[in-house]
Chain A
Amino acid sequence: MLIDVENLMRSHRLPHIWCPGCGNGIIMKAILEGIRESNLDLDKTVIVSGIGCSSRATGYLNFDTIHTTHGRAIAFATGVKLAKPELNVFVITGDGDGAAIGGNHLIHAARRNIDLNVILFNNNIYGMTGGQYSPLTPHGKFATTSPYGNMERSFDICNLVQAAGATYVARGTAFHTKMLIDLIKNAISNKGFSFVEAVTMCPISYGRRNKMGNAPDMLKWQRDNAVNVKAAQKMEPEKLAGKIIIGELHKETAPEYTELYEQLIARFRKGAEGDGQ
């Protein structure tokens, strides 16, 4: 199967730096499958990441790639997309990178409805710095900086991004790979700000501390706790507590930012032609 996406990778850069059992490779492969199955022009595809475990993926992907400063991937990607709207622009970010330091850029890019495909790898923890709690670490869970259980409440990042104006919002998991690929393909086909939360697992820094077992156990946890959005609509709220609602959560159409800007430029071009006549 890997052979399908091998030409989309910088294979000479392997092995990757992720820990044994990390789910990031599964998400990365799903992104590549999504790109391949969408028949995107590979030379016109740019992938931008921030800082953190997930964000190291850009180093392995054979596209024009930028590994930026912490939290700023979406802001860099906004510059790429607005400057050259014909490019397909992806953002790879993590829950710390995208929801904490980069949270402001996330909501404003959604508000603009600029045509970016943002895939947020949610492993519920800061992995690269050794396991501190993130805005997506559930309340009560343990991390090196929440040794007595996380005092804070976590974001429902999909709700947040939807409320900010994203026109495509979905959630998948590393276990449900086929669905994740489909969600990424749908995100790609949406003209506007698309957001996919990809639930992944960090057995080393999160799972171990929270007694969730090894990597296969954590995948089973995803399998057993995921509820499809259609089924969730019929369930009582108390039964949904602690569950991961997966699938396409939100879809709408709204004017896309770079198209609006191109129309503005066209207005002046027309004006210039008019003056000449």
Chain B
Amino acid sequence: MRKAQLLQGNQACAMAAIDAGVRFYAGYPITPSTEIAEFMAENLPKVGGKFIQMEDEIAGMAAILGAALTGVKAITATSGPGFSLKQENIGFAAMTEIPCVIVNVQRLGPSTGGPTAPAQGDVMQARWGTHGDHPVIALSPASVLESYDITVQAINFSEKFRVPVIVLLDEVIGHMREKVILPSPEELTLIERKRTNLPPAEYKPYEADSTRIPAIADFGTGYRWHVTGLFHDENGNPSGKADTIHKQATRLLTKLDPYLEEITLYKSYCTEDADYLLISFGCTARSAAEAVDMARSKGYKVGLLQLQTIWPFPEQLVKEFCTGKKAVIVPELNAGQLRGEVQKVITNQTLSGVNKINGDLITPEEIVMKIKEVAGQC
């Protein structure tokens, strides 16, 4: 354990990255994510790592992928419009299975929107921002300490599953300062990507065993393999054959399936006897937790499911938590992006949202008002 510190969410995220072994950062400055780049610029060279401020967001994403292929753990951070710019190369990472982490400190959008205004409007962009069907993991912390823990998890997941992992911070969590006691780096459980132990002549870079995750060979170690964003066979050779495309697309799309339980991170509060369930994430989950206490003091049995894993959407978990509840309410700082996913998996419960897209936060009182309204209807 370290001593208690007063830290920003962005700082905790950057510290976690270095503690988890990240040794390469490339990015482009954008509010409200800049503190992550600044921390990396100052601290990476001290541990033998590299920081580079690239000429644009696209280059930042490209550079971390090049670096990751040499065997280092690599990360970039951005916000809203910058995240949009990175999407094509995030798709490339998904297609070529390069481990990498993208931190998106969400801001109000669309377009330049509100550079310093909190929002949670990138839920769908995190899932479907790039073209085509592809796997992705997106995690969202709700406190400074979670910002640290979730970033470590993100790096571990990207290494283990060879997928781009997105840390969906929001402006509030990124800029908020809290007293935290972080673990020492040596207390962390870290995962390294599975590297091939075959001789180069026998190595097939995209041949997956029963784990569905192929072993990688670091560039410069004599394997001389080909990486391409085109559909490719097990050897990495481009292919336009329907059979080959189908085989690769299917493996990519299902490669996280055996690991859904491991990937699903969440917290719950007062849910066991609850009649009404709040489902929330990020900064809004904090208002929701407060709303639970306020509503319970007024006699409403309310509980909270805080999702830390947003994608793959934890269908099973949400189903289980919704079972037996009279109504489900999803407070989020967007027009209902997560609520749509909840809608897909619930059956008999009434579903409603508490939503804001004006740069203001959702207050606990507003959530309590919605609980009362819903309770009156039930």
Contacts and interface: CB of A to CB of B under 8 A. Distances in A.
B219 A264 contact: no
A104 interface: yes
Interface in A1-48: 10, 13, 42-44, 46, 48
B224 A42 contact: yes
B127 interface: no
A261 B56 CA distance: 20
Interface string B227-241: 111100000011000
B228 A67 contact: yes
Of residues B24, B62, B225, B227, which shows the largest number of chain A Cβ atoms within 10 Å of its Cβ?
A: B62
A176 interface: no
Contact of B66 (A44, A63, A78, A86): A78
Given A79-B67, A265-B48, A69 B222 contact: no
B224 A48 contact: no
B88 interface: yes
A268 interface: yes
A67 B226 contact: yes
Given A59-B238, A79-B26, A64 B48 contact: no
Contacts of B23: 83
B17 interface: no
A83 B227 contact: no
A63 B70 CA distance: 13
A36 B174 CA distance: 51
A155 interface: no
A2 to B, nearest CB: 19
A65 interface: yes
Nearest to B23: A83
B55 A108 contact: yes
B180 interface: no
B199 to A, nearest CB: 13
A75 B219 contact: no
Contact of A268 (B46, B68, B71): B46
Interface in A224-264: 261, 264
A42 B223 CA distance: 10
A77 interface: yes
B62 to A, nearest CB: 4
A44 B55 CA distance: 27
Contacts of B50: 82-83, 261
Given A75-B54, A75-B66, A83-B50, A67 B229 contact: yes
B280 interface: no
Nearest to A63: B224
Nearest to A84: B70
Contacts of A67: 226-230, 238
B45 interface: yes
B229 A83 contact: no
B228 A75 contact: no
A64 B224 contact: yes
B63 interface: yes
Contacts of B219: 46, 64, 80, 84, 87
Contact of B226 (A58, A72, A75, A83): A58
Given A78-B59, A268-B46, A68 B224 contact: no
Nearest to B49: A265
Of residues B24, B56, B226, which shows the largest number of chain A Cβ atoms within 10 Å of its Cβ?
A: B226
B110 interface: no
Nearest to A67: B228
Nearest to B229: A69
Given A69-B62, A78-B59, A84 B54 contact: no
B89 interface: yes
A10 B237 CA distance: 10
B168 interface: no
A176 B237 CA distance: 32
Nearest to B92: A69
A76 B48 contact: no
Given A79-B74, A261-B50, A64 B63 contact: no
Nearest to B88: A69
B322 interface: no
Contacts of A72: 58-59, 62, 89
Contact of B62 (A65, A76, A268): A76
B221 to A, nearest CB: 7
A180 B317 CA distance: 62
A50 to B, nearest CB: 10
A69 B220 contact: no
Contacts of B77: none
Given A66-B227, A68-B92, A82-B52, A75 B220 contact: no
Interface string A157-183: 000000000000000000000000000
Contact of A68 (B62, B221, B225, B237): B62
Contact of A79 (B64, B220, B222, B225): B64
B65 interface: yes
Contacts of A68: 62, 65, 92, 229
10 contacts: A43-B220, A48-B66, A59-B238, A65-B225, A66-B228, A68-B229, A78-B62, A80-B219, A104-B59, A268-B48
Q: Top 9 closest A-B pairs, CB basis?
A: A79-B66, A79-B63, A75-B62, A83-B67, A75-B59, A79-B67, A67-B228, A76-B66, A108-B55
Given A75-B63, A87-B220, 9 more contacts: A13-B237, A62-B224, A79-B63, A79-B65, A79-B66, A82-B50, A83-B71, A84-B220, A105-B59
Interface of A: 10, 13, 42-44, 46, 48, 58-59, 62-69, 72, 75-84, 86-87, 104-105, 108, 261, 264-265, 268-269
